[in-house]
Chains A and B, each alone.
Chain A
């Protein structure tokens, strides 16, 4: 089976959930299923500017043949004015306005789409729904298409242009049930073949160093939050809540924020901000944590949650984040908070009850073993792609296209 992935950025240097997910699926299809996989992407690393930073042309990355194309247009300055206007009432935007929004958001990649159309692939996977390559590509390829939306509840999701995007998909692949519910609330795609897949998790890749040593805090107990330190990811909120917690509960407990820093966190003696760390250090830090906290309300899957469970570490998530909360509810491996008071009561309970921590971690690990180990997951994905190929290319019904206002 020949599979083509279309994603606006591709590579190990790319920070981004959807792009990383696309790369991991592509690589595991090659290594575990023997599929012939190509990736069609831009030369960009930055999803704001879409500046060409990598060389165009062909290369091979971990068994995947990568075709890179220069962008004819990155994010235009006019985008911000239009975005500001449309996000107030995205459902009421015209189709032309929302197409313009997609073009101004970038990356504009007609060459990439021309190459995909002529690729001869058996099936094309578009990842995620939001950008030009998917919006203008998914309806124009001659082969069956799979849409990996990676959708959040964000204003853009309501723009009319995406009705055609979803209607043009022959099949859909979701990260979580919550994502499927969100998409189906907005788009009539429930009858399409689909799968709730998620992503696979590898084994503990730690080097065996004590987490406290990596963090430079010795034997102090700590909770950890892994991922970009960013206001949008809830990092500032978590740090503020933790400062309040420590004001009421003095003691040795520390908070480690592990990941590249996009938002400055006010210094505090009990808050450690590491910046980007190696994979080994990340796994070591998580392994020795009392709990792993995902404070973000904007996750579409969250590998971080699953990686904590691989090591039997309980997780704490934002109650307003349906995907991470779904992981907790299905597994029984984590708890959630919807206010400072809830976080305080939750941490008090968790830190005082080692048996509860172990039980949560055990349930989380069993959940990962059942659903998210690569060999299991990638075979499901391969079988799914085979059924999509067997069904062939379907076009969206005229009724869906006619429903879009001009």
Chain B
């Protein structure tokens, strides 16, 4: 029987258990543990790749894919193409087995009578399906070539997102603390600003891309979610937000991401909506003491005045922090 008590012996080849103070695994530790075990299993599965006859393995793979919805395969083009290839040939020779006496003979007779006709039709369909399959393989080849040429986008890091003691907290509360409507904070961390806004009667919620940043608050019932800010904004309804605070996320954005951000907030904020951006200054970003995430980011922060240009048509006010390391932009349309 599988015991209920914690193990006395740790499994070979695994690191520390990663349990947090309350005994629950945290996502980071769980991920590391699983990555280690799954890597060993994947390696072993790879090593066995020619042990089964190729035809049997293909049949087993097709059986798996048959019950795996296309959308669940996380863009696995090769699996999708295998499914297409497996269904390209339309067999005109229908099975004739029957549970009734003489049923098979009747079916076989019908098949023989119709085979010239069905065969002609299925040949056309198979030809069409083959042409489609070839086209898809060409597209796949070109996509793979593109992937080799274009590096994958780096995730936008969260750099200095602020906390309850930040100098800009009162400015944000003044700018957003009186209106009605939904207000988003990204990256919200443990929800320090969301709660402060809620205490003022603001309908605030938050998202944060950092693993584990919001988990405890989620359990407490605050509306905080582990999500990337840009994908989140893509799924927000047009003109539905009264305000958006983006702290620690705009500094490292590349030009494309920043352009998309501006387009998204322009669409998602109401006409009286307020946009608040907090960022390190370029000087602080390149300072020796800057967080390592700054070096790894796809972009670099803008100077405060540049936001006035980027947010063309908005009324922009900027506030420089007391140490001149960071700044706040409050923008209204």
Which of A's residues lie within 8 Å of B, judged by CB? 152-154, 167, 177, 180, 182, 184-185, 187-191, 193-196, 231-232, 234, 236-237, 240-241, 244, 287-290, 295-298, 311-314, 318, 320-322, 328-333, 335-336, 338-342, 344-346, 348-349, 353, 355-359, 361-363, 365-367, 369-371, 376, 379-380, 383-384, 387, 391, 397, 399-400
Q: Would B2 and A191 count as touching, CB distance under 8 A?
A: no
Q: Within 8 Å of chain A (Cβ to Cβ): is B203?
A: yes
Supply 20 further A-B pairs (C-beta < 8 A) apart from A237-B66, A339-B45, A369-B24.
Answer: A189-B235, A191-B237, A196-B218, A196-B225, A237-B64, A287-B2, A288-B2, A332-B25, A339-B64, A340-B60, A346-B41, A349-B41, A353-B12, A355-B10, A358-B11, A366-B19, A366-B23, A367-B24, A371-B219, A399-B238
B149: interface (CB < 8 Å): no
The smallest beta-carbon distance between A189 and chain B, in angstroms, is: 7
Q: Residue of A at shortest CB range from B40?
A: A349
Whether the pair A240, B12 counts as a contact (CB closer than 8 A) is no
> Which residues of B in the span 212-232 have a Cβ within 8 Å of any Cβ on A?
218-219, 221, 223, 225-227, 231-232
List, in ascending order, chain B residues with CB within 8 A of A383's CB.
221
Q: Give Cα distance in the complex from A248 to B218, angstroms.
A: 47
Contact A341 B2 (CB under 8 A): no
The answer to whether A349 and B10 touch (CB under 8 A), given A191-B240, A237-B67, is no
Q: Is the CB of A188 within 8 A of B30?
A: no
A400 to B226, CA, bound (A): 26
Known: A359-B7, A359-B14, A362-B6. A397 touches B67 (CB 8 A): no
CA distance A349 to B47 in the complex (A): 14
CB neighbours of B45 from chain A (8 A): 339, 341-342, 344-346
Interface string of B18-43 (1 = CB under 8 A from A): 11001111010111011001101110
Contact B235 A188 (CB under 8 A): yes
Tell me, rounded to whole Å, the shortest Cβ–Cβ distance linking B207 to chain A.
8
Q: Are B237 and A397 in contact (CB under 8 A)?
A: yes
Q: Which residues of B contact A311 (CB under 8 A)?
A: 2, 4
Chain A residue numbers with a CB within 8 Å of B17 are 359, 363
B197 to chain A, nearest CB (A): 14
Residues from chain A with Cβ under 8 Å of B205 in the complex: 191, 193
* B57: chain A residues within 8 A (beta carbon): 340-341
Interface residues on B, range: 35 or more
Which chain A residues lie closer than 8 Å to B68 at the CB level? 297, 318, 320
**CB pair B30 A329 closer than 8 Å:** yes
> Which residues does chain B contribute within 8 Å of A194, judged by CB atoms?
223, 225
Is the pair B69, A297 in contact by a Cβ cutoff of 8 Å? yes
User: Which residues of chain A have C-beta atoms less than 8 A from B2's C-beta?
Assistant: 287-290, 311-314, 357-358, 361
Known: A335-B37, A346-B41. A188 touches B72 (CB 8 A): no
Contacts of A341 in B (CB 8 A): 45, 48-49, 52, 57
CB of B71 within 8 A of chain A? Answer: yes
Query: What residues of chain B lie closer than 8 Å to A400, measured between beta carbons?
Result: 237
CA distance A167 to B239 in the complex (A): 13
Chain B at the A interface: mostly helix, strand, loop or mixed? mixed
Is the CB of B54 closer than 8 A to any CB of chain A? no
Question: In the complex, what residues of A have CB within 8 A of residue B31's CB?
Answer: 329, 332
Q: How many angstroms from the CA of A371 to the CA of B216 in the assembled complex?
A: 10
Q: Using Cβ atoms and an 8 Å threshold, which residues of chain B touch A379? A: 221
Are B232 and A190 neighbours in the complex by a CB distance under 8 Å? yes
CA distance A376 to B12 in the complex (A): 34
- Cα(A231)–Cα(B233), bound, Å: 39
A379 to B232, CA, bound (A): 27
- Cβ of B64 and Cβ of A340 under 8 Å apart? yes
In the complex, what distance in Å separates the CA atom of A391 from the CA atom of B66? 45
Q: A332-B34, A345-B41 given as contacts; is B48 within 8 A of A154 (CB)?
A: no
Q: What is the distance, in angstroms, from A222's C-beta to the closest C-beta of chain B?
A: 12
A-B contact pairs, 24 of them (CB 8 A): A195-B221, A237-B63, A297-B68, A297-B69, A298-B69, A313-B2, A329-B34, A332-B18, A332-B34, A335-B37, A335-B38, A339-B60, A341-B49, A342-B41, A345-B48, A346-B41, A355-B12, A359-B11, A366-B19, A367-B24, A387-B221, A391-B203, A397-B239, A400-B237
Contacts A189-B235, A335-B34 known; A366 to B67 CB distance under 8 Å?
Answer: no
Interface residues of B in 258-273 (CB under 8 A from A): 268
Establish whether residues B25 and A241, one from each chain, have CB atoms under 8 Å apart when the complex forms.
no
Asked if A288 and B1 sit within 8 Å, CB to CB, the answer is yes
**Contact present for B235 and A380 (CB under 8 Å):** no
Q: Which residue of A lies closest to B60 (CB)?
A: A340
Nearest CB in chain B: distance from A214 CB, A: 13
Listed from nearest, the 5 A-B pairs whose CB atoms lie closest are A332-B30, A320-B68, A190-B235, A153-B71, A184-B235
Q: Does B127 contact A (CB under 8 A)?
A: no
Query: Chain A CB within 10 Å — which of B226, B236, B268 has the most?
Result: B236
* Chain B minimum-CB-distance residue to A330: B27
